[in-house]
Amino acid sequence: MLMVFGTAKLLAELFERLNQPGIVGEILAGVLIGPSVLGWMAPNDFLRALADLGVMFLLFRVGLEVKASELLRIGGTAMLVAVLGVIVPFFLGWGILLAWGEPQAEAIFMGAAMVATSVGITAQVLTSKGLLNHIASRMILAAAVIDDVLGLLVLAMVSSVARGKLNVAELAFTAAVALGFVFVVAKWGGRTVGHVVSRAHARLRVSEAYFALAMVVLFALSFLAEHVGVAAIVGAFLAGMALSETVDPRVEHLAQGVTELLVPFFLAGIGMHLDVRSFTESSVLALALVILAAAIVAKLIGCGLGAWSLGWRNMLRVGLGMMPRGEVGMVVAQIGLSMGVIAPHVYAVAVFMAVCTTLLAPPFLRMAYRGVVAEPEQEVLRLG
């Protein structure tokens, strides 16, 4: 733990001094101590558990700062952003791999890996810069939640195709349940939770009762989310949003402690999966670079077009915010690998794409948001 946390913070400091986002340093710390460079650490279950908990709390805190009504208002555009951000990368990835002469199954999985969005990375950048209330940031959050549901469907579809049987009715049902869950919680969750929590709080006698209640809501919604088929972090985000209007600021402080402690494990964990030894063959490296370029361009175009109505600057921001594939892209590739559908070199390419999009997003995002704080009246939608 010392090593992961210490190295992550050391590199974060180094990057801040070079005027680069610290988050990039923390991911690179994972690459550095991971199997590909120093070999001090390999991903293990304990680190993964800390990382999962870290990103859950990160999304929970982001949720606390967002109003559900604001997200629902932009839901239509967000849906467009998410859908285009799924279609463009999928077909681009699929097409490139087919053109490269790889088999159909691998091409499909690469497309699916390029669909994923790691909202955790963008959320971390936006939170640390205090930009969560910006219209583009909201759009990213709303679209990322929908993207998660869509990405899940793509993955389910791809896995069924690889297994040779595709049950459209079942997929449609899963999609409906997942979207329904998100919508219901976003729409009525806040009121219900607010009611229950403030009532329960008035009656409770345990110390830090608010925090305990918030944690129960967080765990319950994360658990439910996984149950209906969306990621636990979407549940965590919804829990934060449901609590955002009722909760004591103290809960936010306490949750922040957990986030500060655990997020470095999430970031370093992403880096740790990259294994640069696969790229000694120049053809693999070439494919990796082409896929990386495609992954960047695809989200910029897809998500950017979806956010047409917000003007070109916000289109750029939304595209960049949806760019990092992070842990989500890696999970897709992992599933493909463990199903025996994709070859190790294709897996390595997918991980490379996931890590590099994640490393590139923060500095670009910072550039894209430059000047926003200078003119808050024009571009920032105030809460409340």
Backbone φ and ψ for 323, nearest 5 degrees, come out as -70, -45
Q: Which is nearer to a second copy, 21 or 151 (CB)?
A: 21
SS3 content of the chain, % helix, strand, coil (to 5): 80, 0, 20
**What SS3 state is found at 380?**
strand
Nearer Cβ to a second copy, position 94 or 211?
211
Question: Which residue lies nearer to a second copy by CB, 116 or 214?
Answer: 214
Structure tokens at 11: 């590199």
Distances (CA, A) of 84 to 87, 89, 181, 207, 218: 5, 8, 22, 48, 30
State how far the Cα of 31 lies from the Cα of 95, in Å rounded to an integer. 29
**Contact assessment for residue 35 and residue 275, using Cβ atoms and an 8 Å cutoff:** yes
**What's the closest the beta carbon of residue 115 comes to a second copy, in angstroms?**
28
Which of 251/350 has CB closer to a second copy?
A: 251
Residues that bind a second copy (CB under 8 A): 1-2, 5-6, 9, 12-13, 16-17, 22, 45-46, 49-50, 128, 204-209, 211-212, 215-216, 219-220, 222-223, 253-258, 260-261
Least Å distance between CB 29 and a second copy?
Answer: 12
Least separation in angstroms between CB 222 and a second copy: 8
38 phi and psi angles, rounded to 5 deg:
-85, -25
Q: Give min distance, CB of 4 to a second copy, in A.
A: 9
Instruction: Report the residue number, 238 or 307, with the smaller CB distance to a second copy.
Output: 238
Least separation in angstroms between residue 35's CB and a second copy is 22
CB of 64 to a second copy, least distance (A): 13
Q: How far is CA 34 from CA 4, 10, 289, 355, 356, in A?
A: 10, 15, 21, 13, 15
Residue among 36 and 222 whose Cβ is closer to a second copy = 222
